[in-house]
Each structure stands twice: as structure tokens, then as C-alpha cells.
Amino acid sequence: RKYRERVRSIAELEAQGFMVPPRGRRLSTRRAASVPRPARSHGNGASAADRRRVQGAKRFRRSSDLNGCGRLWDMGVTSSSAISPPRALGNGNGSRPLAQIVDVFFNLSDFPAVEDGERILLVGQHDALGCWNTSEGLSFEKEKFGWTTRARLRPGDHVEFKCVVSGPLGDRWEEGGNRTLTVPPAMRVPLVVNLLWEGERPVDSWDDAEDEFDATLDKLKSTLDKLQAGSREEVAPEEEAGPAAQPEQPSGVAYEEPAQEFSFDSLVTAGEGEEVLKTSGTATEAWQGKEIVFMQSNDHSGDRRGLSWDTSRLEGGSCEEEVVLGDQTAPSWREKLEVVEGILCRGSPERKDLSPEAVSACSIYLSWISSGVISCAEGGGHHRPCRHAESSMRMFRSLEWGLEEASRGEKGSFTSVLIRRLFPLLPSFSSEFRASTPLTRIRDIAHRNDIPQDLKREIKHTIQNKLHRNAGPEDLVATERMLERVMGGDGEDYSEDFVQEFKRFTVELREFFSASSLDEQLLELQAGMGDEERGRIQSFLGAKAASSQGESSLSKLLSLMDETTGLRQVLCRALASGLRNDAPERAMEMRQKYRLCEIALENFAFTVASRALNAFGGSEATRSLEEVLALALVLQKCILHLSFNGFLQAECSAISNELLACDNSIRADTSNEESVRLCMLRLKACLDRTRRVCDSYRDSYLCAYADQADRLGRAFGQAVPEHAVKMYAESETRASMVFQCAKICQNLSKNVSRDFLKSDNHEWETLVAGEAQGSLVFFETMEDHTMAQNEGSVSGDKILLLRRATGDEEVSASGDGVKGVVLMHELPHLSHLAIRARQEGVVFATCTNEEEINKLMEGLVGKYVKMDASQQKVIVSETERPKVQQVVEPATTGGPAFHEAGGNGHRSLDIKKTSFLLAVGTRGSTRETCGAKAAQCGELQRMSADFPASPYKVPRGVCLPFGSMELVLDMQPRDARGQWEANLSKMDRLLGSNSGGQELDEACKSLREMIESLDVPRDFVDHSICSHFDPSGSLIARSSANVEDLKGMSGAGLYDSILNLDVNDPESVAEGVKKVWASLYTRRAVLSRHKAGIRSQSEACMAVLVQEMVASEHAFVLHTADPILSEEKERYVYAELVRGQGETLASGMQGTPYRLRIEKATGKVEILAFANFSEVDYSKDPFTQEPQRLVELGEKLCTLGEQLETQFGEPQDIEGALSEGSIYVVQSRPQE
């Protein structure tokens, strides 16, 4: 009824000559004849000559490009999403022709209720929009997410328009001023415009309408003039954009979501224009919530209708459930902060053991709140910001203590990174914000007499009252939008005093929301600092200002990066003392400022690193040595920033030291080509090590955020858009410093390998050369392949693509038909896995480049491929599958080590078991009584003793011969010997029936537990073993089985060695002996023997070699015939060297050892690689500091290898150690 009366009133006024504004919500009693008409007239559906615009069009702003389909513009006061039209086709060369006509798609969401017979129209002054005639306007069509229509405009067209609901009873125009749109002059793609229905506001009184009309009319001409000039200006792209805010997804809109598994290489190959930079942008830039509307009255709502929470998929009592249940009864920001406080503090003033799950859940929750994804509403009552500040102080205390705990040790915990993410999400608790009436400046601003009444009301109701009643992140966004407006955004010329006062308030509010700029934080912080610290800040600010003037060179950015890192290091040292339990409030306030400032410095360093990478350019072009060294130093600063975060700090510090040492080494002699090559090898080793740190960070981010964000997103329902959930973990990684480290590392690796090491195969490392064909199948581990083989899901010839390996796996024992292996990380060439692959003729290569791995994963997995691996290159390509492929049947008998050539007979494993429990010296050990390893050690001892000038020493030792374990079994109660024999028989039956999986695992586990629980007589261990060694030393218990160290089956790494046994503790030595016995029955050992043709597991016997443990400074593995080369391998000796014990080489730990190739005839040493294992500071290693020492060691190892090869009559696999200037040989076995 009111609507019909209003329509009739409008018609009567128009008939009498009165002018009705097009806004449809204000009616004027002033006659049109008395109002001067502007040059351009507008209308609302009646006569165009009698319509006039009453408020300037709001300025448009550029939004992000969705999926590359056109440019997306948000109009008016909306910030909704739209579906982009299909991508326009190119012209064949990748470019698009300039369009003469541009398709402009208008999408309307939050649309009005439409009655029968009514339709929604788009009407404007352009011919395509009906020239303000509703009968000729464009009609919106109903879609799932809203309404859409299309207009055909020309590039450069400037149009004004509005939305209107037209029906039999008249037209209902949306409120607000006319919208404006300028079609960019160089459009090659469709344009997408998002609109939000601005609603209709009923008229309360004719007098109010007339007053507003008069005030609006006075501002009309200046507003129009300014907007006409400004709207045609081209929008220049920002040089450095902040993290791209994801558009809000309307209900029913499908987005193509990227997979949660991502790689740094896939991220860094995007164009520079698509790069996500981390800057200290305003809150408005990151806002993804509802559009801010300036209010003339208190229209803030506590309505939360439409929201739903579902905790059915959350674990009961978990922190995730606590967050979601708490949010149901916490509409306001204050109440939401108290939910987080309850989790982080648990009602106690001190809680130092923050769990990573609790911290990450709170981080996700507060991030969504701060960006507006989860909206805040009125919570009822008046709660000033001091309440928020007090809660923040309590949480800050708990987080600081948690950070201290998480950062302990050399590795720290990733929880420290998660905790640091929370600090900027908490409000400031400075004393001025904890006062009973904080932020009072806005009250004085709202009562000024030099601003219009409507602006007063908007400031009062939108900001002042809301802020003092229920403050929330939306208040900062509203304030920044208002600041844009008072600084000229609405065309008004406000007094300078008012503008400056509003600026001061905005700065205060940013400080309260922990959103101050870096400069603001530093200038405030330096007031309480000493002269040295203030000088640091001034030096940084000077370098920052200098870098912003003109084009920044790489050297200038390196200087800025150095200043940034040094300043942050000063702040971190000040924070390193920790927070005392009785710290006063003033100390807490200062600590928060320090903490926020050092975090902001890391964010700024992120941007500087990005600029440095841009200045360096792409990796395709050849770069000078000076440019490579400068970017390497930028990387060093980035790594140093990571070391400040409390996670992998020792590793990051070691990498930083090595990068600096490498730079100094290169600059010392740039004229010597070989010296530069060695330094570049050293730099490459450091880059590979950096990449592993980046991978650890990436995996930790995914582990912490991916699944938890998904569970929380589902629990919050439609309140959280799906894309915000799916992209959370990736966006957090991309916004971290480790993202820049990965990008720089990738670019430098390519340049170093190609331009200085002359390698075209830097992404690959060939461990076993050759050619193989088979189906490319992906598994996480070799164990997964074994399980799939047992289930019958894979068969035939295959090439395995493995994500990780320990280095101790068996190739053939994992399953039949393995012809090749591609491993996704580095592995020592002489690790046990690589050795066994070489012995079995399995082609083996590693690949560390994720781009290459993605090509395999996405294009070749599941296809029949050919793998061609050489030292120069590795090629994996699709090939034709043989017409008849023979399926390899499991081998139950037969094997090169245990069958006579050409016969079917089983070769006997002749051994002699002892009848007494005793220990014999290694020089008295024989193959029949103690195994090949112990016998070989005895032979080495004799050789070393017979030749005083021998280049090596052998540690002393004793051996528990074959049969010792059985004798100890006989000493146990309850027929332990019978149980052991019964378990062996069961294992043989399982292997004979090709049964595996859980039954075999249980049988192996049962045998190991039985052996490890044996009671070995203490007196026997003390007198027969310990008494033979120096009481001040340590011992090592090593295996010497009758099925290892044999020609054709070395069994390297198949059985355990137990280190660091206390010679003064017989029980410790006994435990070591039992663990070596038990290693005879690990799953991989059992399967390996079965594959080798051993008919019964009872035939395998274990002797234990106990030796004095050498205090190894470096350990080495030496092959007297180069196993890497496919031809002329006998001409060279190949060696790998690591710091510490040799288990690093044998275990397959990720990293690269020192690699040497020595020509036997000339003694020429070639350094192939420098070591880069984690947790070692190689800047202090003598072989890295002085490569000549490595050359001299290579010459000695060559002499040693040739001597042992001659003595034993065949190529040898030698293990040894360096200690106090001497070379110790602990083992020598046949190489093949």
C-alpha cells in the first residue's frame, strides 16, 4: 500500500512540474524551473529532460583478474564476485586483437525481491542502456548466483547508469548516486562488472528530503567536474602489489580449485605480474568481508541469520571444536578474541606448552576474522576497546612463553612459526588503549563544526559509536575508506585541520589493530632506544628511501637487505632474553612493539628480496659472476631471516655462514678458472641444502594448515568461501620468506650449473647408468610398492617414481619387475640402496627439480616409458609397449650368490658353530666360524701389522662366533630355543606360499622381540669382550653374517650396527650384541635372503664383531673401480667422504657427500661435489675451506685402494675413517 501511494505521489508531482531525483528515495518540493540544469540531463524512467543527477558517481577501482578472463571492475560500494565469461580466443600467436566492440557483462548480486510482472533493468545515458528510458533498458536474466546482462560498448566509452526494478505499478530505483564506468581504451578481452543492489530507503519526511537535495545540489557541479576528469585517467598498475585478496564466492558459483599438493617451482614460474608480494598494505587491501556502508543512523546489526555451524566432523574436545562452538555464541570481535584466549591461556596466567594444533586453529580463525571472511556482529552492550586490549595482553604473554619453548634447541619447532603468525592478529595493549575511555579523538572529530552534518552523522554512527561499543576489524576498513573520502575522494574540499586530525586518528586506530606501517612502528620505537639502536633505524630508513628513488640496482637492494637484516637482528637479540613471569605491564607493552616491528621487518625483507630477484632477471639469460654473487648474498640474508624464526635455526645459520664463506672464497681469486669452478661447486652444494630447508618449511605449512583449514571451513559452513579454505595453506606459504628463498635458489641453481659448471643435467643425478623400459608407477616409498605387489595391483616391468627413500631398502626384494628407479631427492652414490641397485642392474637416478618431477607426475605416470640415464643427461620418455610383455614371476629359488653356474643345485652355506660361549680375536676369525666380514677384518689387521709403512690402521676387535646366539637361547627358561625354531618354520611357510604383508611382519617382529629379550650373562660380556679394550673408549657392535660380504651379494647395510656402546657397562654392550642378532630377522633382511635363493631362514647365521670405535672426524667409502662410469671404470678410484661417522653415507640420509674421482695411473684428483648434509657448518670444515686438502686426501685414498685391490685380487668396497691424521680401515668387501 505504501509503495502504491508513493508511486501515485511521484506521478502527481511530475504532473505539476516538480523534479523527482533518480535515486528513488528522496522527493523534493522545489520546482524544476527554479533549479539550474546541468549540461547533461538524466532520468529515472519518465522524461529524460526532467531528470537530474543528485550525487556524484562513486569512483571505480580496479579489482583482480579472475582466471585471466577480462578485467573485473567493482562498481559503487560493492565488492562481490562475478563469473568471468569464457576466455577469448587468441589470433594464433598468443596475442589478442584490439576489440572495436567490447562485451561488458554486468552481474548483480544481493538483488531485490521481484514481484510477479516486475523485472530488473540496467538503465543509463548511453544508447546501449536506453538513454535513461526504462522501456529501452537492458533486462537482467536470472542465474544461479544472481542476475546478469550484457552491453556492447566501445573502448573509451564513459557511461553512467543505475539499476531499477520496473513493473506495472511503476519503477523502483536503487538508492545512491549514479554509477559510472569508463571502458579502458585498449581492451582486448571482455569486461566484467560486479554490482550489488544498494537497496531502497523510504522517505521519512519531505523536509529531510528537501534539505538533503539542496545540500547535494550545491556539491553537484564540483563533484561532476572532478569525477569527469578523474574517471578517464588510466589506472597504473602497482609496482608492488600486496597479497592478492581472494574474491568472495557467491553461493552456487563453482571455482576451479588447485590441488593442495603444490611445489615451489610451480609457484615461482608464474609471471612477475602474478606474484604475491608481502607488503605492509592497508587493511582495505586485504579486506574480503562485507562492503563498508557509511550510516546516517545506527544501522549496525547483530543479526547472524543464515549462518550455520557443523561440528559433526570435528574430534570431540579438540581445539577446532572449541573454536567453532565458541564462535556460535561470540558474534562480536571481543567475544571471538575471548574464545581464542580460552584456548591459548586455558584460564591460567602461564601456559608454556602451546600445542601446534591449538596455535594453527587460532591462527586460521583470527586470519579469517581479520580479513572479514568471518564477519563480526553486534554482541549487545557497550564494551570499549580497552576490553580487547586486556584480552590481547593475556594472550600475548602466553604466546611469548610458548614461542620461547618452541624455539629451544638447534632445530626448534615449527610451532614457533605458527605462533609468530598470531602476533599481528592481536590488538595493541598499549596503556592508551587499556584506558577506560580509549580512542577519544574520534568523538571530538564527530562533533566538529567545520564539516557537513551528513558527514558528522556518518562518522558518528559508522565509526565512533560502533568503535566504542563493539570494535572490530571492519572499523579500521571503514576509517580508511572515510580517510580516502575526506582527502578528496568525494570531491569535497574539507578544512586542513579536520583532514589532519582524521589522519591522526587513522594512525591511532591502525596502531590499535596492529596495522601500523613499518616506518610508523620504527619511529615510535626509537624514542626508547639507545644511540646505537637509533642509528641503526636511521640508517635503515635512509637506505629504504634511497632504494625508492629511481630504478633500484641489485647492489643497492643488497645494501637495503643488509640494513633490514641487521636491524631485525638487533630487535631479535633484545627479545632473546625471554619474558619474565613478573614482567610489568610497561615491559609487556614495549615487548609487543619490538615483536611487531621485527615481524614487519621480515615482511619488508620479503618485498626487497622480490625486487632483487626482478633486478637479477630470469634464469634463461647468462649472468655475470658479480650478479650471481650479489643474488647469493641476498639469499644469505633471506636465510638469516629464517634463522630468526625459531625453526631449523642451526641449519639456517650454517647455510648463512657457508654462503658468506663461499662469497669470500670466490672474491679472493676470480682469475683462476679452476678456483672459480670449485667455488661454484661449493655454492651449488649450498643451494641444494637451502632447497631442502624450503621443502621442510613447505611440508610443515601443509601439515599445519591444509587439513585443519578444510575441517574448520566445513564446520563454519557457507560463512567461509570454499576458495579461502582450499588456498589457505598455499597462501600462507607464498606469503612467507621461504617462498622468496625457493625462487632465488631455483634461479641461482640454473645459472650456476649452466654458466659456470657447464652442466645441462643439473636437475638430475645418475647413480646407476643404463637404459630401462617399463610402466612408470608412483609410490611414496619402496614399502608402498611392496604392499601393492603383494596385493597384485602392479605387475610386469616397471620404473618406480619414489618420493622418498631411507637408503636401506632392497630393490628386487620390494617386488618383481623393477627395471629403474627415479627418486625425488638426493642420495649418496655409495648408499646401500644405490649399491644394491647397481649390483642388480637397476637403472637409478635422482631428480630434485620439481618442474621436472611434475612433468613425470602429470604426463608420464601410468604410461610405458623408456629411461635412458647417463652421466651427461637423463631422459624419460613415452615409448611403445612391446606387443608381448613377459610378466616376471616371483623368484623363489635361484640367485647369483648361491647357485652353481648352469646348474639347479643349491650352494651350501658351510659354517661351523661354536659349542662354547666365547669370544675370539679378529685375527683368529675365519669365514666358517665368524663370517666374511670378521675374517676380512682379521686379514686387514695382519696386513697392517706385517707392513709398518702401511697407509692405514685397523681398529682392534673381538668376535662372537656363529652359534653364540643359539647357546644363549639354550640358557633361557621355557624352551626359548623351541619357540625360535617354530617361528623360523612359520616364516619359511609364509615365504614359500608367497604370503607377505601383515603376517610376515608379525612373524619378523616376534622373532626380534624374542632375541632382544634374551638374558646374556654379564660376566661373560665383561671378561670376554669388555676386558680387551681401553676403558676410556667406546665400542661398536657390527654384524658378520654368513650371508653378507660375499662375492655377488655384499648385503651392505642389510643388518644393523650399534654405535657408542660403553665399554665400562657390560649391560650396554650386551644390548648392542642382541640388537645385532635381532637384525637378522628384519623384514627386508628376510625378503632379501629369500630373493637370493636361501631355502630356509634357519640357514642364516649371525656372528657379532665388536670393535673399538674410532673417534671419526670424517668417514669415507672407497670403490677401487668407479661404479658411476659405464666404461673404463677400472681406470679410476671413486670415493665419498662425510663428516662424522660413516652411517651418514650408508643410511641414505638426504644430502651430498664430498665426491672424488682419482685416476689410478696419474693420481689426478677431480672434485665432483662438495658435501651439504644438514646440521653441519661446512664453513668450518677444513676440506671445504681448503679444497687442496681434499685433493691430497684423494691421492692417499687412491694408494690405499690400489694396495687392497692387489692384496685381495679383485675390486674392493672399502669403509674407513679419518682420525687424528691417520686413516683407519674398518671393513673391506668385494665390490660386486
Lowest mean pLDDT among 164-168, 424-428, 560-564, 871-875: 871-875
> pLDDT tens digit string along 751-786?
888 888 877 666 788 888 888 999 999 998 888 887
Identify whether the C-beta of residue 1162 lies closer than 8 Å to the C-beta of residue 1192. Answer: no
Report the predicted TM-score, pTM, of the whole model to 2 decimal places. 0.71
| pLDDT for 546 | 87
Residue 114 has pLDDT above 90, yes or no: no
Band the pLDDT of 208: cuts 50, 70, 90.
Answer: very low
Q: How many CB atoms lie within 10 A of CB 129?
A: 23
Band the pLDDT of 888: cuts 50, 70, 90.
Answer: very low
| Higher pLDDT among residues 472 and 273, named by residue | 472
> pLDDT tens digit string along 301-342?
667 777 889 999 999 999 999 999 999 999 999 999 999 999
- Average pLDDT (142-157) is 81
| pLDDT for 558 | 94
Residue 61 has pLDDT above 50, yes or no: no
Identify whether the C-beta of residue 1028 lies closer than 8 Å to the C-beta of residue 961. Answer: no
Q: Identify any residues that bridge with 875 across adjacent strands, giving them in sequence order.
A: 868
| Higher pLDDT among residues 469 and 635, named by residue | 635
> pLDDT tens digit string along 806-840?
877 778 767 778 999 999 888 877 777 887 788 78
Residue 479 has pLDDT above 90, yes or no: yes
Q: Which amino acid is at 145?
A: F
| pLDDT for 389 | 94
Give dist(CA 343, CA 427) in Å, integer: 17
Identify whether the C-beta of residue 538 lies closer than 8 Å to the C-beta of residue 567. Answer: no
C-alpha cell at 235: 589506472
Give dist(CA 1179, CA 322) in Å, integer: 48
> pLDDT tens digit string along 931-943?
989 999 999 988 8
Band the pLDDT of 582: cuts 50, 70, 90.
Answer: confident
C-alpha cell at 387: 576490553
101, containing H or E segment: none
> pLDDT tens digit string along 999-1015?
888 889 999 999 999 99
Q: Which residues of 1207-1227 are buried (b: 16+ CB within 10 A; e: fewer)?
A: ebeebbbbbbbbbeeebbbbb
| pLDDT for 1046 | 55
DSSP, collapsed to helix, strand or coil, labels residue 764 as strand
Nearest Cα neighbor of 56 from 235, 198, 225 is 225
367, containing H or E segment: helix 356-370
| Higher pLDDT among residues 885 and 465, named by residue | 465
> pLDDT tens digit string along 29-44?
333 333 333 333 333 3
| pLDDT for 1211 | 92
What's the maximum distance between 2 C-alpha atoms anywhere in the chain?
A: 128
Q: Which of 461, 468, 825, 832 is catalytic?
A: 832
Identify whether the C-beta of residue 1008 lies closer than 8 Å to the C-beta of residue 1002. Answer: no
Express the helix, strand and coil content of the chain in percent, nearest 5 each.
45, 15, 40
| pLDDT for 351 | 55
Band the pLDDT of 188: cuts 50, 70, 90.
Answer: low
Residue 3 has pLDDT above 80, yes or no: no
Average pLDDT for the chain: 79
Residue 1 has pLDDT above 70, yes or no: no
- Average pLDDT (983-987) is 90
- Average pLDDT (75-102) is 40
Q: What is the Cα 752 distance to its own chain's centre?
A: 25
Phi/psi for 504 (5° steps) reads -60, -40
| Higher pLDDT among residues 219 and 1151, named by residue | 1151
| pLDDT for 1062 | 93
Q: Which amino acid is at 1034?
A: S
171, containing H or E segment: strand 170-173
| Higher pLDDT among residues 1034 and 948, named by residue | 1034
Identify whether the C-beta of residue 1179 lies closer than 8 Å to the C-beta of residue 661. Answer: yes
| Higher pLDDT among residues 583 and 243, named by residue | 583
Residue 1048 has pLDDT above 80, yes or no: no
Residue 349 has pLDDT above 80, yes or no: no
Whether 829 sits among the annotated catalytic residues: the reply is: no
| Higher pLDDT among residues 47 and 1090, named by residue | 1090
Band the pLDDT of 287: cuts 50, 70, 90.
Answer: confident
Residue 207 has pLDDT above 80, yes or no: no
Residue 256 has pLDDT above 60, yes or no: no
Burial class (CB in 10 A: 0-12, 13-18, 19+), 1159: middle
Q: With pLDDT > 70 as the criterion, what percentage of the chain qualifies?
A: 79
Q: With pLDDT > 90 as the criterion, what percentage of the chain qualifies?
A: 41
- Average pLDDT (1214-1220) is 92
| Higher pLDDT among residues 1017 and 32, named by residue | 1017
User: Cell numbers 605449512 label which residue?
Assistant: 701
Nearest Cα neighbor of 909 from 934, 932, 892 is 932
Residue 503 has pLDDT above 80, yes or no: yes
| pLDDT for 198 | 60
Give dist(CA 1135, CA 1124) in Å, integer: 11
